[in-house]
Amino acid sequence: MKERIIELLSAALPMVDLESDFLFSELDSLGVTTILMLLSEEYGIELEARDATPKNLKTIDSIVKMVEEKLAK
Amino acid sequence: MILEERIEYFAKVVPDKAAVICDEQTISYSCLWKHIQEKAQQMKEDGVCEGKPYVFLATQDADFIVTYCAVHVCGAVAIPLERSTPTERQQQIINETKDFSFASGTSDILYTTGTTGLAKGVIISEIAWQANAENLINRLGFTSDLLFIVCGPLNHLGSLSKIYPTLMMGGTLYIMENLKDLNAFFSVFELPFTKFATFLVPSSIKMLLQFASKELVAVSQKIDFIETGAAAISQHDMELLCQILPHSRLFNTYASTETGIVCSYEFSEYGCQPGLLGKPMKHSSVRIDENGRVVCSGKTIMSGFVNSSDLTAQVLKGCEVYTSDIGSLDEKGMLHLLGRKDDIINVGGYKVNPSEVEDAVQAYENIQDCICIPAKHIVLGTVPKLLYVPKQGQVVKPKDIADFLKGRIESYKIPLLYEVVDAIKRTYNGKLDRKAYK
């Protein structure tokens, strides 16, 4: 899943360093929205504003964790 | 000085009232005025004086308001630049403005790509700011009990123009860096104010509708008005916003740095129709020329461009600004926007000149040829896309190009989408064939 998410996000956000430990600080509002939209479409999960927290979007691993938790619900 | 005089006035009559809230810090009118005076004194000691330019970065905080107003108190001309402006570009702007002879009453220079497609400094007078503020106060209804949330860049007319009516009416500004933390945006509504308002570009509205409709419903009673503009908003998004916010006034505004704030249409009251911008406001007039171009006049228009009399003559003819927008006026005198006359790409309200992007990319040694075109994006609607031909034997990844462009052009101009192609289409005389990509 991690590889697929990196593939998806790097195509849509080429300027963002997805390996960063401070991913959220690298993003602008467009970046956050793009991540929410791509992940909700790819995995059929419902993502909302309250999911777009600095904690959930801190690293690519925390994004993977967020998707896994949504899928488990 | 109209803004600063009003801040001074409110510092006397309502000294403890919140003027600016930012980073969980509340600054009262008396504190704000004190900070402005102190900053102005320091600037004067540093040589800032009447009629001289003062270039600074538009930090998204209370310091920006203090610096911006202090520049005016010194009688100098404020030149706020986007925070990501490369150092070389900052120096270029300092050089091109330092010896310019500003007319008396000049307030600011705002750098924009807007009407002409070229990055240039638009001269804005104090009279224009006052007229813009009065247009907004009259049409949108700014009041002293309003908390206005600024979440867009303060060097841009869309957000900077809201400082004036908010503080001139004794209201409160809430400054956010941007909209990326939607939870932070909604937490503003927990503050003890009864009326909230904001300016959102259409892509931000789309984002809120998609991911935060429940949160919007929860605060709907508190939202007095939302203004949008700078790019086209779809009928679907207008209708959805009206449904979610049945108690709020929703406006679609026509404005540009060159024309000032000209028209605004309350689509929540009079119906959702894409491209309908309403009647000109108190200090503005609009006509359509023989080529269908929107031509604006009135007190809000710019005084000209810095160091470019040719460009000024092309855009500012007599007392009229000739925009690159194509429009029509209906029988009620309401403006309908139909499109643009040039190749400028409108990215969520920011205007991107594809030639500027291509020139920057051509400096990358492994690129043989390229063209920047508009493309569809799931969030922003339209974004710059780069089609490029790497030099023979070279592998060039999109991230390589994006990294190269960082620091050379502003971040919003860097293409978001990339595609390697075999060749770029050109016309018989070697010019880029932009029509072939439309």
pLDDT in tens, B138-148: 999 999 999 99
Say what the pLDDT of residue B261 is: 97
Full-model pTM? 0.84
% of residues, chain B, pLDDT over 70:
98
In the CATH scheme, what is the homologous superfamily, with its name and number, of domain B345-437?
ANL, C-terminal domain (3.30.300.30)
pLDDT band per the 50, 70, 90 thresholds, residue B430: confident
pLDDT band per the 50, 70, 90 thresholds, residue B47: very high
Surface-to-core class of residue B256, CB atoms within 10 Å of its CB (0-12 exposed, 13-18 middle, 19+ buried):
buried
pLDDT averaged over chain B?
Answer: 91
Our CA-based measurement puts residue A28 at a distance from the nearest CA of chain B, in whole angstroms, of 6
SS3 B162: helix
| pLDDT at residue A61 is higher than 80 | yes
Q: From CA B103, how far away is CA B101, in angstroms rounded?
A: 6
When CB atoms are compared, the residue of B178, B186, B406 closest to A29 is B178
How is the beta sheet containing B172-175 ordered, strand by strand? B25-28, B18-22, B172-175, B146-150, B195-199, B223-229, B249-256, B260-266
Residues 6+ apart with CB under 8 A from B13: none
Q: From CA B248, how far away is CA A53, in angstroms rounded?
A: 27
Our CA-based measurement puts residue B407 at a distance from the nearest CA of chain A, in whole angstroms, of 12
Say what the pLDDT of residue B302 is: 96
What are the tens digits of pLDDT across the range B333-356? 999 988 777 788 888 778 888 988
Our CA-based measurement puts residue B60 at a distance from the nearest CA of chain A, in whole angstroms, of 14
Q: Please state the rounded mean pLDDT for residues B152-176.
A: 95
Q: From CA B327, how far away is CA B244, in angstroms rounded?
A: 30
A49–B215 C-beta distance less than 8 A: yes
Q: Which residues does chain A have within 8 Å of residue B214's beta carbon, measured at their own beta carbons?
A: 48
B180–A31 C-beta distance less than 8 A: yes
Q: Number of CB pairs < 8 Å for A and B?
A: 69
Class of domain B2-340: alpha beta
Say what the pLDDT of residue B8 is: 97
Contact status of A14 with chain B (Cβ, < 8 Å)? yes
Tell me the helix, strand and coil percentages in chain B, rounded to 5.
Answer: 35, 30, 35
When CB atoms are compared, the residue of A32, A37, A38 closest to B180 is A32
B181–A53 C-beta distance less than 8 A: yes
Disruptive mutation site among B159, B177, B180, B219 for chain A (greatest number of A CBs within 10 Å): B180
Structure tokens, B396: 């060039």
Say what the pLDDT of residue B369 is: 92
Instruction: Name the residue ranges covered by the structural domains of chain B.
Output: 2-340, 345-437
Pairing of strands B260-266, B249-256: antiparallel
Say what the pLDDT of residue B272 is: 92
Our CA-based measurement puts residue B403 at a distance from the nearest CA of chain A, in whole angstroms, of 7
Closest residue of chain A to B185, computed from CA coordinates: A49
| pLDDT at residue A58 is higher than 70 | yes
Please give the backbone phi and psi of residue B187, each rounded to the nearest 5 degrees, phi first: -70, -20
Q: Which residues does chain A have within 8 Å of residue B414's beta carbon, measured at their own beta carbons?
A: 15
Say what the pLDDT of residue B207 is: 84
Say what the pLDDT of residue B113 is: 65
Out of B2-11, B72-81, B230-239, pick the least confident.
B230-239
Nearest partner of B417 among B392, B436, B431, B437, judged by Cα: B437
A32–B399 C-beta distance less than 8 A: no
pLDDT band per the 50, 70, 90 thresholds, residue B118: low
Say what the pLDDT of residue B33 is: 98
Closest residue of chain A to B385, computed from CA coordinates: A12
Our CA-based measurement puts residue B181 at a distance from the nearest CA of chain A, in whole angstroms, of 7
pLDDT band per the 50, 70, 90 thresholds, residue B159: very high
Closest residue of chain A to B211, computed from CA coordinates: A48
| pLDDT at residue A17 is higher than 90 | no
Residues B229 and B252 sit within 8 Å (Cβ to Cβ): yes
Say what the pLDDT of residue B117 is: 54
Give chain A's domains with CATH numbers: 2-72 (1.10.1200.10)
Nearest partner of B317 among B327, B304, B328, B307, judged by Cα: B304
